[in-house]
Amino acid sequence: MKKIKQPLIILISTIISSSSLLHISNAYAWEATEFTQYLNFGKLSLQYAKQVQQYATQLSQLNNEINMYLNMIKNTVNLPNEIMHKLAGKIAQVAQIYRNSTGIVSTLMNADNELKNIYRNYDFYKLKNMGVKDYFLSYQNWNTSNSKMYERMMQMLGMQASSLESEQDILQDLLSTNKGDLGQKQALQVGNELTGMMIQQMQELRKLIMGQNELNAKMHAQAEAEKANQMAVQERLGTYIKPNYGNGRIY
């Protein structure tokens, strides 16, 4: 969880500063704030994309380790308790990744709303540059499907997704609900399936983050181009007036 606290702080402080500057009197100050917002969001999204990729790598390692356990016990009659202890540790790591990823998605959904405050023609740019992709709804759908998949896998393991507080709690649930060698082998199989599905979820999330980042860059570039064109037309017509205090947004 420590890895994502700093980006969260960056976004939250950015949103707060933006909200307080929406009605700022200095047009130049607004432009600088807007550009800072653009840069901050770009940095945030790239940090999150990197973090999610690290989660995918971590899940892939967990998946390989669980597969190794499955191969080890394929022809074993009596499973050593050590296997279930190790599985509990793997599930605890998956649970933490799940919580962290949902936190990232919640933050980026808020960021999508904030982009609408930054860019007056946000929906137009989104439609023109990225088709009909709605990132708020895409994150929402991802979160829903991810939660359902995770909860279903936890139920198959005999656990409540919302009550995984510690590795010891997970171990107790695994041992109490997956009794006998057959039950323990099935628990390993479910753990293997869970990590495999989570890898796919992280890959999809990374695509969404990078797409949203690309949209932000395109919107900012197009907004700057429109502003430059308006100024050029006004200068040719001799009607250009240098922005002064009290104008708020200038495009």
More reliable by pLDDT, 201 or 179: 201
**What are the backbone dihedrals phi and psi of residue 223, each rounded to the nearest 5 degrees, phi first?**
-65, -40
| Structural contact between residues 112 and 135, judged by C-beta atoms closer than 8 angstroms | yes
Ranges of each domain in the chain: 2-218
Query: 247 pLDDT exceeds 50?
Result: no
Query: 250 pLDDT exceeds 60?
Result: no
Highest mean pLDDT among 69-78, 95-104, 172-181: 95-104
Give CA–CA dist 102/90, Å, rounded: 19
Identify the residue whose tokens are 């980042």.
213
Query: 83 pLDDT exceeds 80?
Result: yes
Counting every residue written for the chain, the total comes to 251
| Structural contact between residues 232 and 79, judged by C-beta atoms closer than 8 angstroms | no
**What pLDDT, in 10s, does the model give residues 148-180?**
999 999 999 888 776 676 787 788 788 777 777
